């Protein structure tokens, strides 16, 4: 009986030790009640996924955090000549922007003031961290896509257990044409690749992958913001 407290203490330590090691196999996440407003007053919900806090919605501001207006370019001929920041609505449709957010060229990203204060456009390594956390390229897309057929066509393997709610906002090509809404989602990173390209991520309606690709800076992609740390 004299050894009973010591034995119990040892058992408790072993139990907690095992729990700690076991917990490392899980992805810790929680949907946050905290919301974030951009400079225009648009409201975004947030989710924490193992060390990263992301906005759930795509960005839809038409002003930088400084208050400066981001030119909203409708004409395809004008869009293709730009080497400065710009945004647009998919197919110049305001209703599309209210659901899928706006599309931005990378020159708007590189200005560094696109997201609200204390938030930024995720760098490529931050997208990669999220991908690795969720099990790698082949499966992470299914865990990030909004589930169901409300916005995605076919939507193979979408489960969205963390509430990331990635949407297929399509893109605007460097020539100014729009394509692939409801089929693919394209998101910029804040990381340049070579002189005229930047890294981005793509989610697909027909599989569970998340793909990394380089894209010319004139293209128009969606933006998700991540909180500074």
**Stated pTM of the model:** 0.87
Tokens of 60: 């839809």
Give dist(CA 99, CA 149) in Å, integer. 14
Rounded to an integer, what is the distance from CA 145 to the centroid of its chain?
10
Q: Which range among 8-12, 19-23, 60-64, 192-196 shows the weakest confidence by mean pLDDT?
A: 19-23
Q: Which helix (H) or strand (E) holds 19?
A: helix 4-23
Provide the pLDDT for residue 134.
Answer: 97
**By CB neighbour count within 10 A (0-12 exposed, 13-18 middle, 19+ buried), where does 28 fall?**
exposed
Q: Which value, to the nearest 10 degrees, does the dihedral of the CA atoms of residues 65, 69, 74, 78 take? A: -110
Give dist(CA 200, CA 70) in Å, integer. 21
Does the pLDDT of residue 194 top 60, yes or no?
yes
Provide the pLDDT for residue 202.
Answer: 98
Provide the pLDDT for residue 114.
Answer: 98
Tokens of 10: 């040892």
**Residues 201 and 189 sit within 8 Å (Cβ to Cβ):** yes
Most confident segment among 8-17, 28-37, 215-224: 215-224
What's the pLDDT band for 14 if we cut at 50, 70, 90? very low
Half-sphere exposure of 47 (CA within 13 A, CB side): 19
Residue 228 CA: distances (Å) to CA of 62, 68, 115, 122, 208: 21, 21, 11, 9, 28
Mean pLDDT for the stretch of residues 82-103? 98
Tokens of 207: 């599989």
Q: Which range among 21-30, 95-104, 121-130 shows the weakest confidence by mean pLDDT?
A: 21-30
Domain spans of the chain, in order of start:
29-227
Tens digits of residue pLDDT in 62-91: 999 999 999 999 999 999 999 999 999 999
- Phi/psi region, residue 104 (left: phi>0; alpha: psi -120 to 50; beta: rest), is beta
Does the pLDDT of residue 19 top 80, yes or no?
no
Does the pLDDT of residue 15 top 70, yes or no?
no
Give dist(CA 60, CA 101) in Å, integer. 5
Does the pLDDT of residue 60 top 70, yes or no?
yes
Percent of the chain's residues with pLDDT above 70: 87
Does the pLDDT of residue 17 top 80, yes or no?
no
Provide the pLDDT for residue 4.
Answer: 46
Provide the pLDDT for residue 7.
Answer: 39
What's the pLDDT band for 144 if we cut at 50, 70, 90? very high
Tens digits of residue pLDDT in 164-192: 999 999 999 999 999 999 999 999 999 99
Does the pLDDT of residue 13 top 60, yes or no?
no
Provide the pLDDT for residue 32.
Answer: 67
Q: What is the CA radius of gyration of the chain?
A: 21
């Amino acid at each position: 009986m004299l050894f009973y407290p010591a034995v119990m203490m040892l058992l408790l330590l072993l139990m907690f030790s095992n729990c700690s090691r076991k917990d490392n196999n899980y992805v810790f996440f929680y949907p946050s009640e905290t919301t974030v407003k951009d400079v225009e007053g648009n409201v975004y919900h947030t989710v924490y996924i193992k060390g990263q806090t992301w906005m759930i919605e795509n960005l839809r501001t038409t002003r930088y955090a400084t208050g400066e207006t981001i030119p909203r370019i409708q004409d395809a001929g004008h869009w293709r000549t730009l080497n400065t920041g710009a945004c647009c609505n998919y197919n110049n449709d305001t209703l599309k922007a209210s659901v899928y957010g706006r599309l931005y060229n990378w020159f708007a990203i590189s200005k560094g003031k696109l997201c609200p204060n204390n938030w930024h456009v995720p760098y490529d390594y931050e997208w990669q961290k999220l991908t690795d956390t969720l099990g790698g390229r082949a499966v992470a897309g299914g865990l990030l896509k909004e589930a169901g057929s409300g916005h995605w066509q076919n939507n193979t393997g979408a489960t969205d257990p963390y509430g990331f709610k990635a949407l297929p906002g399509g893109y605007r090509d460097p020539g100014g044409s729009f394509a692939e809404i409801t089929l693919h989602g394209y998101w910029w990173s804040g990381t340049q690749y070579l002189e005229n390209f930047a890294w981005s991520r793509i989610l697909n309606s027909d599989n569970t992958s998340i793909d990394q690709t380089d894209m010319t800076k004139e293209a128009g992609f969606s933006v998700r913001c991540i909180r500074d740390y």
